[in-house]
Amino acid sequence: MKVFIYPNFEKTHSRSCTESACKILASLGCEILMPEAKRRDFSFDGVIFCDVSEAVSSCDLMISVGGDGTILKCAKLAARQGKKLLGINCGRLGFMATLERTELSLLERLISGDYRTDERMMLEAEITYSDGRKESHLALNEAVLSGGYGTIRDFTVLADGITVSSLRADGLIFSTPTGASAYSLSAGGPLIEPSLDCIEFTQICPHSLFARSMLFSPETELEVRYKADGSAASLSVDGQKPIILNENDRLIIRQAEQRLMLIDIRGGSYFRAVNSKLMQPAKPAEND
């Protein structure tokens, strides 16, 4: 079995966790791949360092070692190639990770097949610029459109061409059920069991007494229009570098064709995470 490990060595315990994972997987007869960029930071006999796209294409499954941000980076790679992804938490929350760094002995289940795979819906954010250029971005968590720091904007949201919301707000969040436990939750949105398929729409600081989150069927195509008053808005997809949009640019949010296959070694990890992580005070940052 070929296993591609993508570690985030900025996390305090990720190096030792990666070393332990490599030892266990090697003892189980796995061929271990790792990004070429990690060669200078990590040494383990038998690890093959190679181009990321080559590793993802040739591996049987992927393992991210870090926090939720590391999983988000790997999710797009895994979904585009139809690969299964396991997240090992070395971060602060690690809500999407289904294995903690103290549970590495369970990695042997990857070989025996004693695990479940959860399919997670993803979003596509399609931008059509005023000059006709198009680009598409994949999101596991959310796509966030905002008007800038401390700037309120007028937004209109259409579902399949019909206006469903016209409001003033700091911004809009369009999330998957997986992303419902992230930014949308902090903005007052509900938790959604991630096995469901739907698109969640949550406003950021709406100038209204009656604004509430809305859920749309996965077949719905959402279009966002906004008045920028001469200034640009920004779109952030899964927390990546903001994309600058102007008033005449067109933004469409829809269900993506790709789906993420997330490995849950123990089963029921989502509800355990809700009880043990979201219902508890936040841990200190691992890098402190």
Range of the domain at 74: 2-115+265-278
Task: Give mean pLDDT, residues 112-127.
Answer: 96
Residues belonging to the active site? 68
Number of compact structural domains in the chain: 2
Same domain, 208 and 111: no
In contact, 191 and 180? CB cutoff 8 Å: yes
* Phi, psi of 224, rounded to the nearest 5 degrees: -115, 130
Phi/psi region, residue 102 (left: phi>0; alpha: psi -120 to 50; beta: rest), is alpha
Task: Please give the model's pTM, rounded to 2 decimal places.
Answer: 0.91
Nearest Cα to Cα of residue 22 among 88, 114, 82? 88
Same domain, 111 and 131: no
Reading the block at residue 53, the tokens are 């796209």
Domain annotation covers residue 215 = yes
Give pLDDT tens digits for 207-238. 988 889 999 999 999 999 988 776 788 999 99
The H-assigned helical ranges of 4-138 are 14-27, 52-58, 68-81, 109-112
Give pLDDT tens digits for 238-254. 999 999 998 889 999 99
Give pLDDT tens digits for 73-90. 999 999 999 999 999 999
Q: Spell out the residues 6+ positions from residue 140 whose beta carbon is closer than 8 angstroms to its own.
A: 71, 72, 75, 76, 79, 120, 122, 176, 178, 179, 238, 260
CATH code of the domain in which 136 resides: 2.60.200.30
279 pLDDT band, cuts 50/70/90, is low
More confident residue, 35 or 283: 35
163 strand-pairing partners:
158
Burial class (CB in 10 A: 0-12, 13-18, 19+), 249: buried
pLDDT at 232: 83
Q: How far apart are CA 246 and CA 252, in angstroms?
A: 14
Give pLDDT tens digits for 132-163. 999 999 999 999 999 876 678 899 999 999 99
Angle ∠(74,252,203) on CA atoms, nearest 5:
85
285 pLDDT band, cuts 50/70/90, is low
Same domain, 254 and 272: no
Same domain, 6 and 57: yes
